[in-house]
Amino acid sequence: MPASGGVADAMRGALRIGLATLVAAGICAAATLVRSPYLQNVGAEGATILWSTNEKGQGEIRYSADGDLSRAVAAQIRELLPSATSRPEYQYQAELRGLSPGREYLYRVLVDGAIVKDGLRFRTAGPGPFAFLAFGDSGTGGPNQASLARRMMDNENPALVLHTGDLSQKSATFEQIESDYFGVYVPLMSRSPFFPTPGNHDYYTDSGAPYLAMHAPPAAGVPAQDAGRYYSFDWGNVHFISLNSNLLGSPATAQRMLEWLDLDLERQGRFWKVAYLHHPPYPTGHHVQDPISAMVRERVLPILERRGVQLVLSGHEHGYQRTVPLRNGAPADAGSGTVYIITGGGGGALQEIGSSPTQAFGASVFHYLRGQVLGSRLTISAIGLDGREIDRVTLAPPSRISAEAVVNAGSFLPTLAPGSLITIFGRDLAVEEGRASTPPLPTELAGTTVSLNGRRLPLLFVSGYRIDAQLPYGPVGQATLRVNTPNSSAEAQIVTAAVAPAIVNLPDSFDVAPAVVRSSGGALVSAASPVSGGEDVTVYLVGLGPVDGDLAAGDPAPGRPPLSTLYPVEVRIGGASVIPSFAGLTPGFAGLYQVNVRIPEALPAGIHALSVVVNGIGSDPVSLFIGAAGGGN
């Protein structure tokens, strides 16, 4: 029976008060989630969180490391048009910045002040051991995909997840990706970021438009027109590269990606390099004649192998396959080749696996990969539906150097002298970057040591491809240099001479700062900051030989009194020869020399060659910028 007027008014008033109380408490009816929160682009200092709802509102993430959720960041919102999704949908994207490496964060998701998801957490990238998962060809929405997903979510705690493509085994529409990908893995996606690469099915709808719209992978360094289609990122001592093999059929786009890939790997110093893409370079079954796989072999693999990529993952063939280490398609020594693994058993209907002379193991099975990174060792295990290990391989690449790769740190030429700072180039030289802070310099960094005739050298810097060290003061001649890592050792024969002068150069362009020459006021001499005739400058060098005092390599040079070179030094500037007021070790530094000299007053404005000659041996000349009289700093 309907309530009377007075009673109805009272009920309506009570309802209004109740709703106001709920709103004030922040627990009013929340927006309808279409896609639950998931992590993207997690790194050492940032993370991206996305989600979507049917209603448009003000999205926000509240988070902290201590659980009080005191930090907040607003989300950007974009509408996914009904014509694309069959219903209104609004996607939110929140960028968390200024995070700490290797730290766990708790977070909560709100829309219009109401909590839509709570009790979530993730961990940023950081140093040390970690685990990751990898799988592909999963998007069916079927029971095998679901069973494998439950096993991953219940039994694994990965730092991150790689997907080798075909998020959808259908046409990769918005609805199919949401149901067969996000709908299956979102409990894991909220705590472990997924880093996918698109498969051929993921390109069936508008060349991957839904795939691109629903992801926010790293974009640094990628050409703007290709953002989201390929990318790279770092986690611990691993550099991961996600390549888009679908693009190989488009010459211009493929060329941009390959040029980006070569430059990206050239700049990398991390010990591990892992690449993944959808089309396998060495299929043996259903796709053995795939033309895109042939293009991967012809165009992608030469770059990956030349740049020292140790592991390449792919999908496309529905099963598991692993090669022996390969170089140029032929078997290579363990640790010196690249291992190729096909992980396409994520849920799609299994396909027959063929055989090959380069295949180490193959099976037509549903599975995922578990990768465990422990310093200089990377173990990959294939895990089946029943949780059993199907296959396992451990990679432990040896360090590699050559005599030509041991160079003077000032000139990058193979001219060396006792006490010199040297640079050693190679591969797999250290499990992670290590840097000495101040002298005395350590003889071990990140598990790497370097010795000369059995005597350990002081180290300034180590990475996967480079070591900076100091040679000991002492005799000259031939010697054996050895690099020792947790996996192996590598040797090179070097020769030292009495002196090997080299002016230290900066990595900037020639016009900005060609060499480390400083004015009397301390400013770096350059085209924009020249000096004048009659002004004092300091030139910094390596390789000036013995000094008039005892000093151990790696120790800081004293300042009182400073240690001067034993061999005579002169400075040649624009054809003139000048005797420096001081030539010796730079106080407070290890292995660094300096020469203090006055520029001849009569030297005209312009660019003049400057070189330093020690005991008759000259350094390569550098450019000295001379301004008009009175115009120097």
The domain 32-126 having CATH identifier 2.60.40.10: the answer here is yes
Q: Mean pLDDT throughout 526-555?
A: 92
406-423 pLDDT, tens digit each: 999 998 999 999 999 999
Least confident window among 230-244, 399-413, 535-549: 399-413
264-278 pLDDT, tens digit each: 999 888 999 999 999
If you count DSSP H runs as helices and E runs as strands, how many of each does the chain have, helices first? 9, 42
| Most confident range, picked from 31-35, 242-246, 473-477, 485-489 | 242-246
Is 302 a residue whose pLDDT tops 90? yes
Provide the pLDDT for residue 83.
66
CATH 2.60.40.10 occupies which residues in the chain?
32-126, 403-496
Distance CA 522, CA 339 (A): 52
Q: Mean pLDDT throughout 548-557?
A: 94
Is 52 a residue whose pLDDT tops 80? yes
User: Are 608 and 525 contacting, i.e. CB atoms less than 8 angstroms apart?
Assistant: no
Q: Which residues are paired to 314 by β-bridges?
A: 342
User: Are 570 and 597 contacting, i.e. CB atoms less than 8 angstroms apart?
Assistant: no
Q: Mean pLDDT throughout 107-127?
A: 97
The b/e string for 349-371 (b: 16+ C-beta within 10 A; e otherwise) is ebbebeeeebbbbbbebbbbbbb
Provide the pLDDT for residue 3.
43
Q: Which two tokens stand for residue 165?
A: 């493509």
Is 67 a residue whose pLDDT tops 60? yes
CATH 3.60.21.10 occupies which residues in the chain?
128-174+182-208+219-395
Question: Helical H runs in 181-250?
Answer: 183-189, 209-213
Provide the pLDDT for residue 11.
34
Residue bearing tokens 């034993």: 566
* CA neighbor of 609 nearest in space, from 620, 600, 621, 598: 621
Distance CA 494, CA 479 (A): 6
Q: Mean pLDDT throughout 44-65?
A: 97
Residue 187's SS3 state is: helix
**Which amino acid is located at 463 in the chain?**
S
150-163 pLDDT, tens digit each: 999 999 999 999 99
Is 239 a residue whose pLDDT tops 90? yes
Q: Which two tokens stand for residue 116?
A: 């839509």
Q: Mean pLDDT throughout 532-536?
A: 91
User: Is residue 154 left, alpha or beta, with left meaning phi > 0 and alpha meaning psi from -120 to 50?
Assistant: alpha
Is 22 a residue whose pLDDT tops 70? no
Is 230 a residue whose pLDDT tops 80? yes
Q: Mean pLDDT throughout 50-57?
A: 95
Q: Mean pLDDT throughout 354-382?
A: 96
- pTM listed for this prediction: 0.85
Residue 347's pLDDT band (cuts 50, 70, 90): very high
CA 173 to chain centroid, in Å, comes to: 32
Q: Please enumerate in sequence order all residues whose Cβ is within 8 A of that of 454, keeping only pairs 6 or more positions apart, or say none.
A: none
Q: Mean pLDDT throughout 288-298?
A: 96
Least confident window among 95-104, 295-304, 603-612: 603-612
CATH topology of domain 502-626: Immunoglobulin-like (2.60.40)
Question: Helical H runs in 232-329?
Answer: 251-266, 291-295, 301-306
CATH superfamily, with its number, for domain 403-496: Immunoglobulins (2.60.40.10)
Provide the pLDDT for residue 333.
85
Q: Mean pLDDT throughout 579-589?
A: 95
Is 495 a residue whose pLDDT tops 90? yes
75-102 pLDDT, tens digit each: 999 998 766 666 789 999 999 999 999 9
> Of all residues in the chain, what percent carry a pLDDT higher than 90?
82
Q: Tell me if the bond preceding 546 is cis, omega within 30° of 0.
A: no
Distance CA 116, CA 32 (A): 8
* CA neighbor of 166 nearest in space, from 327, 315, 275: 315
Average pLDDT over the chain, rounded to an integer? 91
319-334 pLDDT, tens digit each: 999 999 999 999 998 7
CATH superfamily, with its number, for domain 128-174+182-208+219-395: Metallo-dependent phosphatases (3.60.21.10)
**Which amino acid is located at 278 in the chain?**
H
User: Are 88 and 94 contacting, i.e. CB atoms less than 8 angstroms apart?
Assistant: no
Provide the pLDDT for residue 607.
92
Give pairs for 103-108: CB < 8 Å, separation 24+.
103/65, 104/65, 105/47, 105/63, 105/64, 105/65, 106/63, 106/64, 106/65, 106/67, 106/69, 107/49, 107/61, 107/62, 107/63, 107/69, 108/61, 108/62, 108/63, 108/69
**Which amino acid is located at 207 in the chain?**
S
Q: Mean pLDDT throughout 484-507?
A: 91
Q: Which two tokens stand for residue 167?
A: 């998020």
Provide the pLDDT for residue 402.
79
* Eight-state DSSP code of residue 133: E
